């Protein structure tokens, strides 16, 4: 894990980003100055989700749907490949079957 501050207070900026992505119909994007900044920010966001799951394992009973889960697990954090024009952008998109090609079997 990259060397960043792991205190829960160090993630307030990303909590608001996650909430904004959840409220958006399809998702949002964050334009970073560098690819490295995008990668570190995505790592921080994934760590925040991990902390949220841990907190929910304490808050909720094992039979509750949010036990060891995060509401932010519904979001995909994606950075395009190096060399892509958007390789410094974090796309935060909602998981949806609308993005899939689904065919019935004959």
SS3 state at 76 = strand
Q: H/E element holding 90?
A: strand 89-94
Query: Would residue 56 count as lying in a domain?
Result: yes
pLDDT tens-place string over residues 34-74 = 999 999 999 999 999 999 999 999 999 999 999 999 999 99
Q: Is residue 63 part of a domain?
A: yes
Convert the pLDDT of each residue in 5-23 to its tens digit: 888 888 999 999 999 999 9
Domain contains 2: no
Look up residue 26 and give its DSSP letter: S
Number of domains the chain contains: 1
Is 14 a member of any domain?
A: yes
Q: Which domain holds residue 16?
A: 9-95
**Is 17 within the bounds of a domain?**
yes
Cβ proximity of 29 and 76 under 8 Å: no
Q: Are 71 and 22 in contact (CB under 8 A)?
A: yes
Residue 101 lies in a domain: no
Residues 75 and 95: beta-carbon distance below 8 Å: yes
Q: What does pLDDT average to over the chain? A: 92
Residue 43, in any domain of the structure: yes
Token pair listed for 42 = 């995505």
């Amino acid at each position: 894990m990259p060397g960043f501050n792991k205190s829960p207070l160090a993630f307030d900026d990303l909590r608001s980003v996650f909430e904004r992505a959840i409220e958006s119909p399809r998702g949002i994007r964050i334009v970073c100055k560098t690819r490295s900044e995008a990668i570190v920010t995505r790592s921080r966001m994934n760590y925040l989700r991990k902390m949220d799951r841990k907190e929910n394992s304490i808050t909720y009973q094992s039979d509750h749907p949010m036990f060891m889960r995060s509401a932010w697990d519904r979001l995909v954090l994606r950075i395009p490949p190096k060399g892509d024009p958007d390789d410094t952008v974090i796309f935060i998109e909602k998981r949806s079957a609308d993005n899939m090609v689904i065919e019935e079997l004959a």
